[in-house]
Amino acid sequence: MDSGLAALLGAAVGSAATLGAAVVNGRAQGRSQHAQQSRQHRRDAYVRYLGALHDRDLAMDAVLDALRADDRPDLTAIEDLTARFVTRAREVHRACEVVILEGPAPVVAVAERVTNASADLSYVMRRMAENARAGDTTRKVEDSALAAERERTLYAAIKEFRLSARAAIGQAV
């Protein structure tokens, strides 16, 4: 084989190898960018959800504080605080829908536990408000204790959500 043909053949092999490496690197970079974008979308969804939970919890705390305050709570204030709570609860539901879409399934399962714990606490809060409107204080101490217990359950579920979300976006737990 003459040296010119060998040089041409070597250049062709080298070009093919370079092109193959570029294709492989391009695909790997594309997958890496896609994974990074997916993590960022999930992170944004989780942050919005946690922020909405925080705002809703502050509104719920305000309602519960008003209900626990006196034997004759200010019903107008409680109605206003409850309306604020309902608005915040709707924001949580909207943010949760994005969490459900972004996944993954383990994070969605924990978000559902947060939803259930929140519903359990909301039920007690609504009953306390109904009793306050009726002027019935017979269950106030019992309901206050139950609300405190359900608040602890809710906050434990939120903590579990944070840990699950961190794991889903690839941060050390």
99-140 pLDDT, tens digit per residue, is 999 989 999 999 999 999 999 999 999 999 999 989 898 999
Locus of tokens 């359900």: 150
**Residue 36: CA atoms inside 13 Å, Cβ hemisphere, count?**
6
148 falls within a domain:
yes
- Whole-angstrom Cα distance, residue 50 to residue 47? 5
Question: Would you say residue 67 lies in a domain?
Answer: yes
Q: What are phi and psi of 172, to 5 degrees?
A: -60, 140
Asked if residue 173 belongs to a domain, the reply is no
| Predicted model pTM | 0.76
Residue at 101 is within a domain? yes
> Measuring CA to CA, how many Å separate 58 from each of 98, 104, 141, 163?
22, 28, 21, 21
Place of tokens 């359950």: 153
What pLDDT does residue 172 have?
45
Q: Which amino acid is present at 131?
A: N
Whether the pLDDT of residue 32 is over 90: the answer is no
pLDDT digit string (tens) for 48-78?
999 999 999 999 999 999 988 877 788 999 9
Instruction: Indicate the number of domains in the chain.
Output: 1
Domain membership of residue 46 as a residue range: 41-168
**Residue 107, domain CATH:** 1.20.1420
